[in-house]
Amino acid sequence: LSKEKACIMKKVDTIVYNSSSLLTMAGPNRPRAGDEMRDNSAVLNGAVAIENGVVIETGSTSYINEKYIAEKKIDADGKLVMPGFVDPHTHIVFAGTREKEMEMRLSGATYLDILKQGGGIHSTVKKTRAISLGDLHAISKKHIKWIVEHGTTTVEIKSGYGLDPDTEEKMLTEIAHLQEEGPLDIVATFLGAHTIPKEVDRKEYIDWLTGEALERYKDKAEFWDVFCEDGAFTLEESKKILKTAKDAGYKLKIHAGQFNDLGAAGAAALLGAISA
Could you tell me if residue 32 is left (phi over 0), alpha (psi between -120 and 50 degrees) or otherwise beta?
beta
Q: Do 50 and 82 contact (CB within 8 A), yes or no?
A: no
Look at residue 52 and tell me if it is in a domain. yes
φ, ψ for residue 136, nearest 5 deg: -65, -35
Residue ending a domain, among 53, 83, 113, is: 83
pLDDT of the residue at 48: 97
What's the pTM value of the predicted model, to 2 decimals? Answer: 0.87
Asked if the structure places residue 229 within a domain, the reply is yes
Q: What is the pLDDT of residue 2?
A: 52
Among residues 83, 101, 117, which one ends one of the domains? 83
User: Is 90 inside a domain boundary?
Assistant: yes
Answer whether residue 106 is part of any domain: yes
In this structure, the answer to whether residues 64 and 18 fall within a common structural domain is yes
Q: How close are the terminal C-alpha atoms of the chain, in Å?
A: 54
Same domain, 47 and 98: no
Q: Are 21 and 44 in contact (CB under 8 A)?
A: yes
* The pLDDT of residue 4: 55
Q: Indicate whether 276 belongs to any domain.
A: no
DSSP string spanning the chain? --HHHHHHSEEEEEEEE--SEEE---S-SS---GGGGG---EEETEEEEEETTEEEEEEEHHHHHHHEEEEEEEE-TT-EE-PPEEE-----S-----TTHHHHHHTT--HHHHHHTT-THHHHHHHHHHS-HHHHHHHHHHHHHHHHHTTEEEEEEE--S--SHHHHHHHHHHHHHHHHH-SSEEEEEEEEETS--TTS-HHHHHHHHTTHHHHHTTTT-SEEEEEESTTSB-HHHHHHHHHHHHHTT-EEB-EESSSS--SHHHHHHHHT-SB-
Q: Domain check: are 32 and 113 in the same one?
A: no
Q: 20 and 142 share a domain?
A: no
Structural domain harbouring 244: 86-271
Q: Name the stretches of the chain with pLDDT < 50.
A: none
Same domain (yes/no): 93, 219: yes
The verdict on 71 and 120 lying in the same domain is no
* Whole-number pLDDT of residue 102: 87
List, for residues 26-63, the tens digit of each pLDDT value: 988 888 889 998 999 999 999 999 999 999 999 999 99
What's the number of domains the chain is made of? 2
52 and 160 within one domain? no
Query: Is residue 185 in some structural domain?
Result: yes
Task: Of 23, 60, 61, give the one whose Cα is nearest residue 42.
Answer: 23
Kindly state whether residues 59 and 105 are assigned to the same domain: no
Cis peptide before 165 (omega within 30 of 0): no
CATH number at residue 235: 3.20.20.140
Task: Quickly count: other Cβ atoms within 10 Å of residue 58's Cβ.
Answer: 21
Half-sphere exposure of 158 (CA within 13 A, CB side): 20
Q: Which of 52, 67, 83 is where one domain is finished?
A: 83
Residue 126 counted as domain residue: yes
Q: Report which of 64, 60, 58 is spatially closest to residue 44, judged by C-alpha positions.
A: 60
Distance (Å, whole) CA 146 – CA 132: 22
Give the per-residue pLDDT at 28.
Answer: 87
Whether residue 223 sits in one domain with residue 157 = yes
Report the CATH number at residue 33. 2.30.40.10
Domain match, 59 and 181 both: no
In a domain, 209, yes or no: yes
Pair (206, 245) in one structural domain: yes
Mark whether 186 and 51 lie in a shared domain. no
